[in-house]
Chains A and B, each alone.
Chain A
Amino acid sequence: MIRLISSKLFWRSVLIFNAISVLLPVFFLINSSLRSSTDFANNPMELARHPYWHNFAQVWQNGDFANFLKNSLIITGGSLIVILAFGVGAGFVLGRYQFRGQNLILGFVLTAMLIPAKLMILPLFIQLKWMHLLDSHLGLILVYASGSLPAAIFILSGFFRALPVDLDNAARMDGASEGQMIRKVLMPLVRPGLAIVTIYAAIPIWNDFFLPLVFIQSPEKKTIMQGLTIFFGEYASQWGVLFAGLMIASLPLIILYLILSEQFIKGLTAGAVKG
């Protein structure tokens, strides 16, 4: 027993077993999306030997689905632009300048990081209503931005702080303004930080369904994850179509993950793993 546990073979089999448990449900999802609903109902475990693409066509013909995807892209993209633009500015100032009240601002940002978004949903709802930002993409974008900005500022200020001071002085000697110095000299050097912040913020926003559930009422403004819940009511027991819908909703992230897995792991565990 002890010899078994200390053998490499045992640990390798653990990893293979884990890979199967992870990939089997994903394979099931992909496979079933390529089978007709009646075929699936007869036997859920057969291979899709003759891919039934009609499911995907049917999802696409339901015009709402494409619209949900577009809304999610607008909201995720818009939030990212705000987070990166505001986050780089604040991260630069807090990481690179020294001034009175700096610790106070850092404390303010850190405290905001600890506030759970779900619990202030009520005042946010009433506040957004009052600001005429309820049931609007812009309102959602600003709430998401506010939620991710504290961590983004924290991560980016760390990256800015790590750059040598001589860099700034050299740029200033060459007559660069502070703005030029940030854009031309420092920004390219904090690119890994920008990648981490992008993934840290974008994935949870793309995947979220709680805030749209509360803030968005118009059917034409709903996001893809919210749309899936409607879709599941509409196409109940049309298995092939449901699986195709799930596939389309998850495909963008699966493809990105296959290309950028290292950045994904770093970005999504940012804050929990030191260094």
Chain B
Amino acid sequence: MAKQGLKRQQNRMALILLTPALATILIFTTIPAFTTLSYAFFHWNGFQRGSFAGFENFSRLFHFPFRDQFFMAMRHNFLVFIGIFLFQTSLGIFLAYALFKIRRGQRFHRTVAFFPVIFSLVIVGYTWQIILNPFFGPVDYLFHSLHLDTFARAWLGDTSTALPTLVFINLWRWVGFPTIIFLAGLNAISTDYVEAARIDGASEGQIFRKILFPLLAPSMTIVTILTFIGAFEWFDLPYVLGGSSGGPAGATDTLALMFYRLSFGSVDSIANQIGIGSALGVIIFIIVGVGATLGAKWLRGREVEA
């Protein structure tokens, strides 16, 4: 009898406590996520929905004038992913290993390494914009005063250096994140393996290559997937530093910026194109979803049990 009373009280409690959270998620995440799909299949006039469009919005993305923008933006996203993966991930492992080896002062260095991650990308972007300013920034000032004028340039204003410079700023801001994940991965590896290898006369390099690195595979999976998602949804840093059209001259344009321009209009075209924007949104979602799922599957397959 008492038990049934408790059960009834619990059911009522579950209902009262679950409803606010689930309703919020349903209204502000789940429903918009589903409607975003439908938007791509309609004609739009401003924010007014028109007739059914079939796949027209998608096909317009692959025709003039969107085609060139679309493929260039996608190429930039891809290059950013490769750049982040090559430099940020390897530097992350490198720093994590350094933190793993050095116990004295580890706490200080860990705190410092993660420090930039707490900064807003707006603050990071503007700070670096001034540091790299060709007239007033300390970097070019240094090059000039060392008579290395050929190295001084408008890092963010030059179409050939703008994107690599953004990847570098991204690295400064983010590298602490993979570092902490890899450090946690290294700390999770049983010291028995390392001890045994050391007794067998393995060098530190061998221990890293043959034992630690393969056992870091789970951390590698997480970092790679997060990098992939981040690279294909890249928006904040290029927006802060290059504006919504990915300046200079579209050199830092990304799919997310193009999506933003189509959805809310831009300096060049005030009119927005919600249908085409939504089609692009669906395409980004598919790239990220399919890429992350297949990537995770493949990467997990090569993980070994620790």
A-side interface residues toward B, CB under 8 Å? 2, 5-6, 8, 11-12, 14-15, 18-19, 21-23, 25-26, 28-29, 32, 40-41, 43-45, 82, 85-87, 89-90, 92-94, 97, 99, 105, 108-109, 111-112, 114-127, 129, 142-143, 145-147, 149-150, 153, 172, 177-179, 203, 206-210, 214, 225, 228-229, 232, 237, 239, 242-243, 246, 249-250, 253-254, 257, 261, 264-265, 268-269, 272-275
Q: Using A8-B102, A44-B141 as known contacts, say yes or no to A93 and B14 having CB atoms under 8 A apart.
A: yes
- The reply on B235 being an interface residue by CB < 8 A is yes
CA distance A220 to B203 in the complex (A): 63
Residues of B contacting A92 in the complex (Cβ-Cβ under 8 angstroms): 17
B89-121 contacts to A (CB < 8 Å) = 94-95, 97-99, 101-102, 105, 108-121
**A21 CB, min distance to chain B CBs, angstroms:** 7
User: How many residues of B are in contact with the other chain, CB < 8 A?
Assistant: 90
> Of the candidates B110, B115, B121, B277, which one forms a contact with A207 in the assembled complex, judged by CB atoms under 8 Å apart?
B121
Check B136 against A40 for contact (C-beta < 8 Å): yes
User: Can you list 5 A-B pairs, Cβ within 8 angstroms, ordered by A?
Assistant: A6-B203, A19-B112, A122-B281, A203-B118, A273-B184
CA distance A111 to B278 in the complex (A): 20
Check B102 against A209 for contact (C-beta < 8 Å): no
Chain A interface, DSSP helix/strand/loop, else mixed: helix
Residues of A contacting B176 in the complex (Cβ-Cβ under 8 angstroms): 22
Residues of B contacting A120 in the complex (Cβ-Cβ under 8 angstroms): 29, 32-33, 35-36, 281
- The reply on B158 being an interface residue by CB < 8 A is no
> Of the candidates B14, B101, B122, which one forms a contact with A99 in the assembled complex, judged by CB atoms under 8 Å apart?
B14
> Of the candidates B22, B109, B116, B235, which one forms a contact with A108 in the assembled complex, judged by CB atoms under 8 Å apart?
B22
Q: Which of B11, B108, B118 has the most CB of A within 10 A?
A: B118
Check B18 against A89 for contact (C-beta < 8 Å): yes
Check B240 against A19 for contact (C-beta < 8 Å): no
CA distance A5 to B228 in the complex (A): 31
Check B113 against A11 for contact (C-beta < 8 Å): no
**Stretch of B50-58, B66-74, B126-134, B148-156 with 4 or more beta carbons under 8 angstroms from chain A:** B126-134
